[in-house]
Amino acid sequence: MAALSPALSPGRLQGLQALSRQLREPQRRNLGFISTSVHLIKLIHGMQSQEELSLTALRCSLQFLGNIAAGNGDSQDSLWKCAFPDLLLTCLSHGDQRVVSHTCTVLFSCLAPGRVRALLQPAGLPVALRVLGLCREQQQPDWPFLIVTEHLLRCPELVKALYAKLSNQERMTLLELMLAAVSEGSSASGEEPQVWGSHAAFLAGCFQESCAAVLGLAAAPGAQHEEALVVIRLLDVLCALSSTPGQLEHLQALPGLLCTAIDTLRLTHLAGKEAVNVFSANQAVTGQDEITHPAMGFKSHLIRLIGNLCYRNKANQDKVFELDAIPLILDNCSIDDNNPFVSQWAVLAIRNVTEQNERNQALIAGLEDQGLAQSSALHSLGLEMERQEGRVLLKAARTEPS
C-alpha cells in the first residue's frame, strides 16, 4: 500500500481535478486518456481502501470520464469498449454515494439506442438491474431515474427481460417509474408511441395473468401480499396509459383486457358484500390521511379502465352488454370512502358505454323502469336519465326551486 501512496498524493489529485475541468471543453476531449483513466480506476478499486485520498481519486477519475464522454460520440465509443460491463457494474455497486453518482453520469452519457440493447446480453443485464436497485435504495435517485426513463424504457425487450428477473418489490419500483414517465407526458403520448404500445400490451398481459392475486387482500387484509400490490400498480399504469390518446387504441384492441377488468370488478365487488373488508363500500367520512391501504381506490381504477376502454369503441361497448356489466357499474355509483371518486368514474363509464349505443341505452332505460337504476346513486349525484327521440341521455337532474 505504501508503494502506491505517491500516486494518490494531494498534489496529483489536484492535477487530476484540473484536468477533469479542462476536458469539459470540446476541443480537449480526444486526447487518448480514456484507457489510462479506466486502468487507474481499476487500480484504485483493487486497493480496496476507504481512505479519503483513494475515494477522491476514484471520484475524480469517474468525473473525468463523465466529462470526456459528454456530447462526444468517439469518446463514448472508446469508453463503452473499456468500461462495459464490468467496470460500470463494479462502480455502480460501490459503497460511496458520489462514486455511484459519477458512474451513473458516465452510463447515462454513453447509452444510445444501440448500446441500450447491449443490456439485454447476459453480461449487461446486471447493469440494468443495478440501476433499478439504485432507484429503490436512493432517496433522490436523479441519475438512475433518468437512465431508466430516458434509455431503458425505450427498449420494450429490455423491460420484459428485467420484469422476468425482478422480485415483486422491484417490479413495483419499475412500474412506479413507468407511471411517472407516463404521467409526465413524455414519449408515451407522441415521441415513441410504438414503444409504449409494446409496453401497454406487455403490462396488460401481466395484469390478466396475475389479477386474481388481489382477492387475497380480502381474505387476509393484514398480511403483506406483494403479488397483489404489483397487480394494483399494474392497474395504475394501465389507467394512465388508457388516458393517453396515443395508447388508448392499443389497449382497446387487446383481446381479453376488458373482460378481465370486468371479471375482477365483479369478484372484488362480491367479496366486499360477503364480508367486511377493504373491498366493502364505506360511506363513513374520514380524513384523507386515513386512506392508507394500498387497495384503496382499486375498484375506482377498474371502473376507470372499463370506461376508458369503451370510449367511442362499439365492440367494447357491446362486450360490456354481453357480460352484463352495466348493472355492476351502476351498483358502484354510490359514494364509497374506500374508493375515492368511484361515483364519478362510474358515471363517466356509463356515459362511455352508452354513447351512440342504442342497445345499451335501452338496457339502462329498462333498468330505470324496473327501479334498478333509480336505486343507484345517480340522483344523489345530481344526475338523471332522460329519453329523447328513443334514446336515453345522462344529464344533470332538474332541481325544484327553493
Per-residue pLDDT tens listing for the chain (402 residues): 333 333 444 554 455 455 445 544 444 444 567 888 888 888 887 776 667 888 888 999 999 899 888 888 888 999 999 999 999 999 999 999 999 999 999 999 999 878 999 999 999 999 999 999 999 998 888 999 999 999 999 999 999 999 999 999 999 999 999 999 998 765 554 557 789 999 999 999 999 999 999 998 887 655 568 999 999 999 999 999 999 888 999 999 998 999 999 999 999 999 998 888 889 887 665 544 455 678 889 999 999 999 999 999 999 999 999 999 999 999 988 878 889 889 899 999 999 999 999 999 989 888 765 554 544 445 554 556 666 665 556 565 555 543
Longest dimension (CA), the chain: 95
Domain boundaries, the chain: 255-402
What was the pLDDT predicted at 259?
97
* Helices and strands, counts by H and E, the chain: 21, 2
CA angle 354-355-360, nearest 5°?
Answer: 25
At residue 141, φ and ψ (nearest 5 deg) are -80, 65
**What residues form DSSP beta bridges with 395?**
384
SS3 257: helix
What was the pLDDT predicted at 1?
33
| pTM of the predicted model over 0.85 | no
Distances (CA, A) of 213 to 17, 216, 221, 259: 54, 6, 13, 17
As a 3-state breakdown, the chain gives helix, strand, coil percent values, each rounded to 5, of 70, 5, 30
Distances (CA, A) of 107 to 136, 237, 259, 265, 272: 18, 27, 42, 43, 48
What was the pLDDT predicted at 14?
56
Cα–Cα dist 47/248, whole Å: 54
Distances (CA, A) of 336 to 278, 283, 344, 359, 396: 11, 5, 11, 29, 21
Please enumerate in sequence order all residues whose Cβ is within 8 A of that of 20, keeping only pairs 6 or more positions apart, or say none: 60, 63, 64, 67
What was the pLDDT predicted at 28?
45
Cα–Cα dist 397/376, whole Å: 14
